[in-house]
Chain A
Amino acid sequence: MADTVIDLIQPGSSLNLGIGMPTMVIERMPAEKRVMIHSENGVLGVDGRPLPETVSPTLINAGKETITAGKGASFFDSALSFGMIRGGHIDFCVLGGMEVDRHGSLANWMVPGKKVTGMGGAMDLVHGAKQVIVMLTHFSKAGKCKLVAECELPLTGERVVHQVVTERGVFSVGNGQFKIEQLAPGVSRDQLGIDDQWLA
């Protein structure tokens, strides 16, 4: 899935990576793509991971994981960081999700009565980045498809998602439907768990 996401990112662009699954993209991003990776806690130019002897407690990503900064990197405060996002200066963002619906609405920050993680920077990212990609497993642990007709969980943003990447395929969202851009090898349309009327 990380490689599928990487294929969607244009060379030379700026990219914000959300917490969780999207951080897998860091380690697999080829250097020759010259992508500047942004992390909203205040760094543009995330490079990869440190060695135990070079680790710095003051150099982390939004998931609080240790990182390294590459040549051309910069550090800044949180307001400038979100200005980059809200101001439309970040080309792509990749977020995790609990539900995405056919209108492009996303839910990823709380399950009422069960779990609250908080929205962190996700509500700003979905309105700021030029292309919003959601990366998630196709089905929940209970076997429910996370690509739904209408989100039931509290929203992170309304009509904000452009593309969805799961282990079963790549989908773009528009006109109230999930448009199949690509199916994973061996996966057919009827194995997606999405009502046929919402599939294009």
Chain B
Amino acid sequence: MTSEPKVFADAKSALFDLRDGISLMSGGFGLCGIPENSIREIVRQGIRDIHAISNNIGNSGRGLAMLLKQHQISRATCSYVGGNPDLEQQMLAGEVETTLVPQGTFSERIRAAGMGIRAFYTPAGAGTLVAEGKEVREFDRPCILEYPLSADFAIIKAEKGDTYGNLWFKETARNFSPLMAMAGKTAVVEVEQLVELGEIPAEDVHLPGVFVQRIYQGRDYENVVEIPVYAPA
């Protein structure tokens, strides 16, 4: 592999400047498409007081739930807690200050941060607890003013990435990852396959490399199937 300024050897070298108190976005829906190497490295570093921004903050004791187990997360912004007993317990015990955001608002706030949109109105959550303390304006129906959501670091995983950071995602593993790469001040990407420039056809690039600051070849992927349901034999 040619030496490129964005290419790092591994998770440890790519995550050299994390510190206590950072905001951290992590891609993945449940355990699908999570950045396994970066999460393991953050567990190893033991940094604390993290504001974690991720749809589920781990699930079934895995993924970001490993950071919860070590009490490294003090704030969480997410849309869904079901299936994550570590978060539910720490949330109800008041150990993790949790903000629940409707999933479409969550993804759009992250997209807005990456796209330079300063705010938007959405009907999701109008007339519910989500609207408390927020500006409500009547369009065709009542809508809530929502602001962008960014982070100091975004850790994401892609199936393929080249040395410029152009990314290609597999199936439903894409989810929040390209949006978070755009919204993170430093986007750190791990890939199953690190390839040379040109190996991902230009038409097939899902996220252009301009949004990516660091990339490395991941290893030892578990790629857990969280809830296997099979066709009748």
Contacts and interface: CB of A to CB of B under 8 A. Distances in A.
A55 to B, nearest CB: 6
Contacts of B123: 86, 127
Contacts, number: 171
Ranked nearest first, the 3 interchain pairs of A and B with the lowest CB-CB distance are A124-B104, A82-B104, A158-B127
A49 interface: yes
A77 B229 contact: no
A41 B175 contact: yes
Interface residues of B, number: 58
A63 B175 contact: no
A57 B225 CA distance: 5
Contacts of B127: 105, 155, 157-158
B200 interface: no
25 contacts: A41-B29, A43-B171, A52-B230, A57-B32, A58-B170, A59-B171, A59-B172, A60-B32, A62-B29, A78-B175, A79-B107, A79-B108, A79-B110, A82-B104, A86-B108, A117-B81, A124-B103, A124-B105, A127-B141, A128-B104, A154-B128, A156-B128, A157-B127, A157-B128, A158-B126
Contacts of B153: none
A85 B104 contact: yes
Q: Residue among B31, B59, B126, B171 with the most chain A CB within 10 A?
A: B171
Interface size class of chain A, counting residues whose CB lies under 8 Å from the partner chain: 35 or more
Interface stretch (A5-13, A64-72, A175-183): A64-72
Contact of A123 (B30, B107, B130): B130
A154 B103 contact: no
B227 interface: yes
Interface string B18-32: 000000000001111
A55 B30 contact: no
A19 B29 CA distance: 14
A116 interface: yes
A193 interface: no
Interface of A: 19, 39-43, 48-52, 55-60, 62-69, 75-79, 81-82, 85-86, 105, 116-124, 127-128, 154-158
Contact of A41 (B106, B172, B178, B229): B172
Contact of B171 (A51, A56, A158): A56
Nearest to B88: A116
B172 A43 contact: yes
A42 B172 contact: yes
A85 B225 CA distance: 27
A174 B102 CA distance: 26
A160 to B, nearest CB: 9
Contacts of B223: 57-58
A119 B100 contact: yes
Interface string B216-232: 00000001111111110
Contact of A118 (B79, B126, B173, B226): B79
A58 B124 contact: no
Contacts of A19: 82
Given A58-B172, A86-B124, A65 B79 contact: no
A118 B108 contact: no
B70 to A, nearest CB: 22
